[in-house]
Amino acid sequence: MTSAPSPASGPPLTAAVRRGYGLGSVATGSFGTVPGLLLLPYLTDRLGIYPAVAGVIVFAPKAWDVLLNPVAGRISDRSTHPDGRRRPFLIRAGLLLAAAFALLFLGPTAPTWLAAGWVAVAYLACATAYSFFQVPYVAMPAEITDDYDERTRLMTWRVAVLALAILVSGGASPAIRDALGPDWGYRAVGLFVAALIALGAWGAWRGTRAAPVRREAVTSAGFRDQLRIISSDRPFRLLLTTFVVQALATGAMLAGVDYVARWVIGTPLSATLLFVCFVAPALLVTPLWQRFGTARGKKAGYAAASVLLGGGALALLLLRSLPEGVVYACVAVIGIGYAGAQMFPLAMLADVASRNDDARSRVGVYTGIWTAGETLGLALGPAAYAAVLAVGGYESSGAGVVVLQGERTLTAIVVGFSLVPAALVALSLLTLRAFPSPASMYSTVAGDSRIHRPGEGT
């Protein structure tokens, strides 16, 4: 039998460690944003690949990550590096990810089969490197602090930097592409984002060098046994399901930005403006979400953020008849919700994955499964949007030829961007509602059925 961590165990983390950890979100935000934003348009409108095939190319490497992430978590759990279990992975995998991303848009554009094969292989390399960066990175908060509220502060820094990374990478990438044209635009985007990823990986590795290094004994249970134990952990399962469904919704919206900007709004820099309206509010409201969570609880904050996320998406169903300014206002509401819907579940994950010693010994496997689920959701989002485009009869372009889209296709572009994500967020609220409060959270790890209280207020 093991004891639960106290609500405020150990000294608080320094501001330098919080900032350093947050810098890792420059890498995760850039890689999580730009492929979801531009890879599908690159495949359909630059390489001339049919939407259904393009959806498979976008999804398949992420499906590989779903299998690889728990393995990456297991490997980092068993690391004995003197700098800690997780930190060495940040610099090694992060730089490999940057190199692979630089190659993603540098391949041939013809013939189509060769171009598609290049993207598929390069994206698979990106996904593999990202797995070994993201999983240790997400696992770190559960190990460097036992303080229930400190984890929320740590996630506040991470989400604030994440919002800034999305703003810079997602806002600048379409502008860079459009400014340099189809021949060099995508290549420049690849190099630009690779530099951001390298900067974020180095910053996280360097900035967390003073973080506490905890060395709990590695569990002797086999990998399959660990997966079985974690899958029977009901609080984790509910939280993961909620987050994955919302990642699917976010992935679909992200994939639709370029299509909405080009075919529905149709004004210069509209894709960049959509991103600015989505991300800029998050830079302001993330500290407010932290205060809300401290006063009302993380679960209540997650629910409120989810309502804003889904409600803003639903309002965009009328996108074609709304004034352009109202469209941007709705996107800003989505951005406010998105900030909270990122911060709260990550803070709750650290609570669930470290609420007793048995769980902490498997924190890498917990986060491996978590990031696998997130990856699956973010991959299914663009694939689902591609499927909606295919059903709507979207005509791919290529070789400098622009194919005009019909009324049915324009409707599909809007529905995939608004109604589909809104319905998914509404569905996610069912599992979030069932998530237990700290006072009633039972640990099902290793058969321990006692009530643990990592902190009050949620």
Measured in residues, the chain has a length of 458
Quick check: 271 and 261 in contact, CB under 8 A?
yes
Closest by CA to 44, choosing from 409, 413, 395, 401, is 395
pLDDT of the chain, 458 residues: tens digit per residue? 333 444 445 567 777 888 888 888 899 889 988 887 788 888 888 888 888 888 888 888 877 877 787 777 778 777 666 665 677 888 899 999 999 999 999 988 888 889 989 999 999 999 899 988 988 887 777 677 766 667 677 777 777 788 788 888 887 888 898 888 877 889 999 999 999 999 999 988 888 877 666 555 444 444 565 566 667 788 888 999 999 999 999 889 888 888 888 888 887 678 778 878 887 887 788 889 888 988 888 999 999 999 999 999 999 999 989 998 999 999 999 999 998 998 899 888 877 876 655 555 566 677 777 877 887 887 788 888 888 988 998 877 655 556 667 788 899 999 999 999 999 999 999 999 999 876 665 444 444 433 334 443 33
Give me the pLDDT at residue 318, please.
92
Give me the pLDDT at residue 56, please.
84
In the structure encoding, which two tokens stand for residue 378, read together? 């973010």
DSSP symbol at 82 = T
Confirm whether 457 is domain-assigned: no
Domain count, the chain: 1
Q: Which residue(s) pair with 308 in the sheet?
A: none
Confirm whether 362 is domain-assigned: yes
Q: Is the peptide bond before 235 cis (omega within 30 degrees of 0)?
A: no
In the structure encoding, which two tokens stand for residue 436, read together? 């237990």
Confirm whether 5 is domain-assigned: no
Confirm whether 57 is domain-assigned: yes
Confirm whether 452 is domain-assigned: no
Confirm whether 9 is domain-assigned: no
Residue 27's domain is classified under what CATH number? 1.20.1250.20
Confirm whether 201 is domain-assigned: yes
Q: What is the pTM of this model?
A: 0.70
Residue whose tokens read 């460097």: 144
Confirm whether 453 is domain-assigned: no
Q: At what angle do helices 51-77 and 223-231 cross, to 10 degrees?
A: 110
The DSSP string of 14-71 is PHHHHHHHHHHHHHHHHHHHHIIIIIHHIIIIIS---HHHHHHHHHHHHHHHHHHHHH
Residue type at 403 in one-letter notation: V
In the structure encoding, which two tokens stand for residue 432, read together? 């979030």
Longest dimension (CA), the chain: 67
Give me the pLDDT at residue 313, please.
95
Q: Is 98 helix (H, G, I), strand (E, B) or coil?
A: helix
Give me the pLDDT at residue 398, please.
58
| Cα-based distances in Å from 403 to 180, 263, 383, 394, 409 | 21, 11, 21, 9, 12
How far is it, in rounded angstroms, from Cα 130 to Cα 200?
Answer: 12
Note down the domain range covering 187. Answer: 15-212+222-447
Q: Is 319 helix (H, G, I), strand (E, B) or coil?
A: helix
Closest by CA to 187, choosing from 282, 46, 65, is 46
Q: Is 200 helix (H, G, I), strand (E, B) or coil?
A: helix
